[in-house]
Chain A
Amino acid sequence: MLSIYCPHCAEHRDEEEFHYKGQAHIARPSDPDKCSDEEWGNYMYFRANPRGIHHEVWVHALGCRKFFNVTRDTRSYQVFESYLIGTSPSITGEQGGQPS
C-alpha cells in the first residue's frame, strides 16, 4: 500500500483513495493539423516505460477529485514527491520519464 501525499488536501492518504492516470508532462502538439501521422501517433499512444524514476499523473479520486503529479521509482515503488500540475518535479532520474 502506497502512502501518497495529496498536494491539494495537504496530507498523506492511502493508495486506495487514488487512481493512477498515466505518464505526466505530455505536451499536446500546438498545431495538431501540422502533425505527421507518426508525431500524432507518438503523442496519442506511445508512452515511456522506464525502469527507475517516473513522473506520473494521479487523481485523488475518493478525496478532493483533483489531479496532481507524482515522482515514483518503478523498481521500488517508492514515491519521492507530489507536485501540482503545471509545476516541475524536483527529482528527475537519468532514465526516462523526463519532462518534455
Chain B
Amino acid sequence: MIWLDLMLVGLILGLAWRCVHAIELMEAVVVFVALGMLVALAWARLQAPDAALAEAAIGAGLAGALLLATLRQLPAQAVRPQPLHWLWWGLWGLFGVTLLWAIGSILSTPVSLMPWVNTHLPEAGVSHPVTAVLLNFRALDTALELAVLLWAWMAQRALGESPDTSFHPVQGRVLATAVKALLPLMGLVAVYVLWRGSSAPGGAFQSGAVLAAAWLMLWLADLPGLDPRRWSVRLGWLGGVMVFFLVGLLGLVQGIGFMGYRPDQATGLILLIESAAALSIGLLLASMVLASLPGIKGRRA
C-alpha cells in the first residue's frame, strides 16, 4: 500500500506543478480539477471520508465549474509563467524541509482531542464524531463558515453582472429528458447524504453540493429552476445562517449557553440546522456558478 500512497503523492505534486506552470489557462483548470480528485483520494487514504467527499464535490466539482465559467469570460490568452528567482527556490525549499521535519516530529508523539470527543459523544445527539464536532461541540466554527460562504456570494454579487455572451443552444430533448429523469434520484441522494451525516460520513456540505449540481443541471437543460429574483431563493441563501444562529440563541433561552442544545433535543435541532444549511449551501453554490456563467439573464427573462 505504501507504493500506492507514494504514487498518489507523486501524482499530486506533479499535477500541482503542472497546474501552476500550464501555459494555457484552460489546461490549468482541467489539471486543477484532476488534482482535486486526487486530493480527495488522498483524504480517503487518510481515513477522512468526510473531507474526501467535500473535496471531490466542492474542491474539484464546483470549484472547477466556477473556474470554467469564469474562463469563458476571459479573453483568449496564454500566460507565460514568470521564472522564479533561485533565491525564492531556496527559501521555499528551506520552508518545505522545515515543514517536513516538523510533521515528522509531530507524528512521533500523537495527541488529539478524540478521547474527549468520544467521552461526550453520547450527549451530542449524533453518533458520528465529525458531525458532533462540527454541529455541536464547535458549532460556532461551522456557523461562521456558513457565513463565509454567504459573504463570498455577497461579494460576488457586489462585483456586478457577468458580460452577456451567447451560448450554443442545445438541440433536441435528450438533455431535458435525462435531467428530468435524474432529478428525483439526485434529490434522494442529497437527502440520504444529509441523513447519513448523523451516524456516518456525510452532512450538510456534501448534501448541499449535490443539490447545487441538481440546480445547475436544471439550468443547463433550460428547465424552470433557480431564479434569483424569487423571494424563496433569496431567503434560501440566508436560511442556513439564520436558522443556525437562531437555534444558537435558543440555547441561551434554555440556559444551555449560546450555540448549545438541550441533550434530548440535540438530534432534532442538528437535523433542522443541517437541512437548512444544505439548502442554503446548494443555493449559494449554484448561484455562484450561475452568476459567473455568461448569458444567464438573457435566458431567464
Q: Are A and B associated in one complex? A: no
Give residues in A with beta carbon < 8 Å to B: none
